[in-house]
Protein backbone atom coordinates (compact mmCIF):
# COMPACT_ATOMS: atom_id res chain seq x y z
CA UNK A 1 0.00 0.00 0.00
CA UNK A 2 2.78 2.45 0.92
CA UNK A 3 4.62 1.68 -2.30
CA UNK A 4 1.50 2.44 -4.34
CA UNK A 5 1.16 5.84 -2.64
CA UNK A 6 4.81 6.64 -3.33
CA UNK A 7 4.44 5.67 -6.99
CA UNK A 8 1.24 7.72 -7.27
CA UNK A 9 2.87 10.81 -5.77
CA UNK A 10 5.88 10.38 -8.05
CA UNK A 11 3.63 9.99 -11.11
CA UNK A 12 1.66 13.10 -10.12
CA UNK A 13 4.86 15.09 -9.68
CA UNK A 14 6.18 13.89 -13.03
CA UNK A 15 2.89 14.84 -14.74
CA UNK A 16 3.00 18.31 -13.16
CA UNK A 17 6.60 18.87 -14.30
CA UNK A 18 5.84 17.63 -17.81
CA UNK A 19 2.77 19.87 -18.12
CA UNK A 20 4.77 22.84 -16.83
CA UNK A 21 7.51 22.25 -19.37
CA UNK A 22 5.05 21.96 -22.24
CA UNK A 23 3.13 25.13 -21.27
CA UNK A 24 6.17 27.40 -20.87
CA UNK A 25 6.67 30.36 -23.18
CA UNK A 26 9.44 30.12 -25.71
CA UNK A 27 12.66 31.35 -24.11
CA UNK A 28 13.22 35.05 -24.74
CA UNK A 29 9.68 35.71 -25.96
CA UNK A 30 7.41 36.49 -22.98
CA UNK A 31 3.76 37.37 -23.47
CA UNK A 32 3.31 41.11 -24.03
CA UNK A 33 0.75 42.92 -21.90
CA UNK A 34 -0.80 46.38 -21.86
CA UNK A 35 1.39 47.31 -18.89
CA UNK A 36 4.51 46.89 -21.04
CA UNK A 37 3.28 49.50 -23.48
CA UNK A 38 2.21 51.81 -20.63
CA UNK A 39 5.65 51.77 -19.01
CA UNK A 40 7.42 52.24 -22.33
CA UNK A 41 5.17 55.12 -23.40
CA UNK A 42 4.96 57.00 -20.10
CA UNK A 43 7.93 55.82 -18.03
CA UNK A 44 10.35 58.62 -18.81
CA UNK A 45 7.67 61.31 -18.59
CA UNK A 46 6.32 60.14 -15.22
CA UNK A 47 9.60 59.23 -13.52
CA UNK A 48 12.26 61.31 -15.25
CA UNK A 49 14.43 58.24 -15.66
CA UNK A 50 15.98 57.14 -18.95
CA UNK A 51 16.28 53.57 -17.63
CA UNK A 52 12.82 51.98 -17.64
CA UNK A 53 13.95 49.06 -15.46
CA UNK A 54 15.18 51.40 -12.73
CA UNK A 55 11.99 53.46 -13.07
CA UNK A 56 9.80 50.40 -12.52
CA UNK A 57 11.87 49.09 -9.59
CA UNK A 58 12.34 52.35 -7.71
CA UNK A 59 9.42 54.58 -8.74
CA UNK A 60 6.45 52.40 -9.60
CA UNK A 61 7.26 49.64 -7.11
CA UNK A 62 9.29 51.58 -4.56
CA UNK A 63 7.49 50.36 -1.45
CA UNK A 64 7.71 46.76 -2.61
CA UNK A 65 11.43 47.16 -3.24
CA UNK A 66 11.92 48.74 0.19
CA UNK A 67 10.11 45.78 1.77
CA UNK A 68 12.32 43.31 -0.08
CA UNK A 69 15.42 45.20 1.06
CA UNK A 70 14.17 45.07 4.67
CA UNK A 71 13.65 41.31 4.44
CA UNK A 72 17.15 40.81 3.00
CA UNK A 73 18.63 42.99 5.74
CA UNK A 74 16.79 41.01 8.42
CA UNK A 75 17.96 37.71 6.90
CA UNK A 76 21.58 38.87 6.70
CA UNK A 77 21.43 40.12 10.29
CA UNK A 78 19.99 36.79 11.43
CA UNK A 79 22.72 34.82 9.66
CA UNK A 80 25.37 37.08 11.17
CA UNK A 81 23.97 36.60 14.66
CA UNK A 82 23.75 32.82 14.28
CA UNK A 83 27.28 32.36 12.94
CA UNK A 84 29.18 34.83 15.08
CA UNK A 85 31.27 33.23 17.76
CA UNK A 86 30.46 33.72 21.40
CA UNK A 87 33.24 35.28 23.39
CA UNK A 88 34.48 32.96 26.07
CA UNK A 89 35.48 34.28 29.46
CA UNK A 90 39.17 33.85 30.03
- The predicted-structure confidence for 50-67, as pLDDT tens digits, reads as follows 998 888 888 888 888 899
**Residue 88 DSSP SS3:** coil
What number is the average pLDDT over the span 22-51? 86
Q: What is the pLDDT of residue 35?
A: 85
pLDDT above 80 (res 48): yes
Report CA torsion sign: 35, 41, 46, 50: positive
| Gap between the Cα atoms of 31 and 43, Å rounded | 20
Amino acid sequence: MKKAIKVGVLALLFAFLLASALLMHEFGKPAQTEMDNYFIARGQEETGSNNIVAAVVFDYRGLDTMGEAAVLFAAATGVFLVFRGRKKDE
